[in-house]
Amino acid sequence: MAIARSLLLFGVVLSCCGVLFVASSSDTIFYDSFDENWDGRWIVSQSSDYGGKWKYEKSEGHEDYGLLVSQPAKKYGIAVDLPEEVNPTDNTVVLQYDLRLQKGLECGGAYLKYLLPQAAGWTPSDFNNESPYSIMFGPDKCGSTNKVHFIFRHKNPKTGKYVEHHLTNPPMIINDKLSHVYTAVIYPDHTLKILIDGEEKKTANLLSNDFDPTVVPPETIPDPEDKKPEDWDDRAKIPDPEASKPDDWDEEAPKEIEDEDAEKPEGWLDDEPDEVDDLDAVKPEDWDDEEDGEWEPPKVSNPKCEEAPGCGEWTRPTKKNPAYKGKWRAPLIDNPEYQGIWAPQQIPNPEYFELEKPNLEPIAAIGIEIWTMQDGILFDNVLVSHDEAAATEYREKTWKPKFDAEKEKEAAEVKLDDPGKLSALDGIKAKVFEVLYKIVDIPFLANYKSQIEELLAKGEKNATVTLSILATIPIILLTLLYSLLFGKKKSPPVVSVEEIKKEDVVVPDDAVATKEEAVVEEDSQEPAGEIEGEDEPSATRRRTRRDT
């Protein structure tokens, strides 16, 4: 009886804290609605790298609270332990959270890291970018990077090394200011499904070419010890040794010559300069001749030149020289000694292994470790579960009411701005998008299908950008069609020996590198308006003597 009361009390405490740890029968491992302040559950990293301040704030226009990124141009780190480890290998695992970019996202991350069990003694306050993770999932945007990351780390059973495997052609983020919910489902048959707002956006196989690098390494690799023979001739074409420069070939002839037939236009003003002093200019009252030099009025375009064909000294224009031939070179012929492009022989890959299914690493904690130029990023309703139905239920009960309210407000603002705009757009939008979705299925657009579909989906959902989407999509399609029909085919690149022999090295995600460089650049910049050697910055510096 005492045990039962203790368990009941424990459940009440957890409920009051705003975190729901559901019994194994529901298959929900972790859920945080942030109905109560997160402080004490989510622990801010004590690493000095993370200066960004997390806040407990309402989502704009709602009574619903979340975990808020409150300052721009900062690094953030925060983590929470799970009540139990989650094994993604033998069970379906659902990772889901709400995200609202209340000020958009120009450059920064908004993803979650699902952490491995850490070393003994580790606590969430020790969390940093070196804390090993099993899965990284969520939006990231900066420069050309615009994607919903899905990265998982897998240990090579031959070498014991962990390798990051990145989802190729991931979905694009929805970069508006509305609430959206991101879901990743990993199945025991090593299938991955990514949903945005409950709609399936990507399906992939963890063991396929959907990930780079692939989990299973190539069976053979170039032999690093194999060297190109010194007498190997890989020149497909060579200058004709029998050719000689024609006797009448003039290499010294200029490319252009003066046009002797040109005549100075009638009315050309030889004695008028292009610019004259501005007669309306007045010497500033605070101008100091001793400090600033003798004041001269600024120059303006000579009004007389605007009416005449030209001013100043007239010179004859140049034209192409019909006798120009340039430097003579022997024509190219097929190389009779050509042996082809050399490549090292293939040998068995010592890191190769066979695998029926990936051994995904367990998840013991969740961390948010991001750098962003925007504040206003709000995380909410973080879920880890084995039950897809539970994820669907949370979406319907927590995310959808917020999203619907935001859409209604957005539509009302559009109507208020232009009452006729929305009704006129609705009359043609459905038919136009129906045609565009059919066009996307054309085979030659296969490589661009996912990107175009993302753009179309954004246009359908966001009334404020629909007109832009409608105008942009046909242009993109016509451009692609023109490129395929008339574009010049490129020759395959010639791969150097050094490039062939490079070992495959797993590098950090491109967005992370971009962010780190941006932080360094930002920190190294001097405040605007400050001048070295002066006590105080001045808003405007006096004009010194104008260069003549």
Q: What is the DSSP string of 41-109?
A: TBEE---TT--PPEEEEEPTTSS-EEEEE-SSSEEEEEEEEEEEEE-TTTS-EEEEEEEEETT--SSEE
Q: Which of 64-73, 306-315, 459-468, 488-497 has the highest mean pLDDT?
A: 64-73
Return d(Cα 355, Cα 358) in angstroms, integer: 7
Q: Residue 66: pLDDT above 90?
A: yes
Could you count the other beta carbons within 10 Å of the beta carbon of residue 134? 23
Contact 86, 134 (CB under 8 A): no
Task: Name the strand (E) or helix (H) holding 430.
Answer: helix 419-440
Q: Is it the case that residue 276 has pLDDT exceeding 70?
A: yes
Q: Which two tokens stand for residue 271?
A: 């004695």
User: Could you tell me the CA-to-CA distances from 471 to 87, 219, 424, 465 in Å, in that order?
Assistant: 47, 48, 15, 10
For 478, the token pair is: 């016509």
0.95 cut: is pTM over it?
no
Please list the alpha-helical segments (H only) found in 326-418: 388-394, 400-417
Tokens 């622990």 belong to which residue?
Answer: 43
Q: Which pLDDT band holds residue 406 (cuts at 50, 70, 90)?
A: very high
pLDDT confidence tier of residue 292, bands split at 50, 70 and 90: confident
Cβ-based burial of 533 (10 A; exposed 0-12, middle 13-18, buried ≥19) = exposed
Residue 9's pLDDT band (boundaries 50, 70, 90)?
A: very low
Cβ atoms of 352 and 217 within 8 Å: the answer is yes
To which residue do tokens 């990107």 refer? 451
Q: Name the β-bridge partners of 69.
A: 54, 377
Residue 245: Cβ within 10 Å count? 11
The pLDDT value given to residue 364: 97
The average confidence (pLDDT) of the chain is 81
Task: Quote the tokens at residue 273.
Answer: 């300069």
**Are 272 and 524 spatial neighbours (Cβ–Cβ below 8 Å)?**
no
User: pLDDT tens for residues 135-190?
Assistant: 999 999 998 889 999 999 999 999 999 999 999 999 999 989 999 999 999 999 99
421: pLDDT strictly greater than 60? no
User: Strands, E, within 211-362: which ranges?
Assistant: 211-212, 220-222, 237-239, 256-258, 275-277, 299-301, 318-320, 332-334, 346-348
pLDDT > 50? residue 107: yes
Residue 503: burial class (beta carbons within 10 Å; 0-12, 13-18, 19+): exposed
Backbone angles phi, psi at 357, to 5 degrees: -150, 150
Instruction: Output the pLDDT for position 484.
Output: 59
Supply the pLDDT for residue 394.
Answer: 95
pLDDT tens readout for residues 498-532: 443 344 434 344 444 444 444 444 444 433 333 33
Could you tell me which of 23, 2, 73, 219 has the C-alpha nearest to residue 520?
Answer: 73
Q: What is the Cα–Cα distance from 158 to 161, expressed in whole angstroms?
A: 8
Residue appearing with tokens 């909410």: 380
Q: At what angle do helices 449-461 and 419-440 cross, to 10 degrees?
A: 160
What is the three-class DSSP state of 363?
Answer: strand
Query: Considering only CA atoms, which of 90, 105, 70 is closest in space to residue 187?
Result: 90
H/E element, 286: none
Place of tokens 């497909």: 236
All residues at 6 or more sequence positions from 233 whose CB lies less than 8 Å from its CB, including other chains: 335, 337, 338, 339
Task: Rank 107-111, 418-422, 457-461, 488-492 by mean pLDDT and report only the highest.
Answer: 107-111
Strand partners, 68: 55, 378
Nearest-angstrom CA–CA distance, 401 and 403:
6
Please determine, for residue 411, whether its predicted confidence score (pLDDT) is greater than 70. Answer: yes
Quick one: tokens of 244?
């000689």
Cα–Cα distance between 425 and 295 in angstroms, integer?
60
Task: Identify the pLDDT of residue 425.
Answer: 52
Say whether the peptide bond before residue 213 is cis (omega within 30 degrees of 0): yes
Of the candidates 39, 26, 113, 11, which has an alpha carbon nearest to the alpha carbon of residue 394?
26
Report yes or no: 269 and 357 within 8 Å, Cβ to Cβ: no
- Among residues 49, 135, 31, the alpha carbon closest in space to that of 380 is found at 31
**What percent of the chain clears pLDDT 70, i.e. is strictly above it?**
71
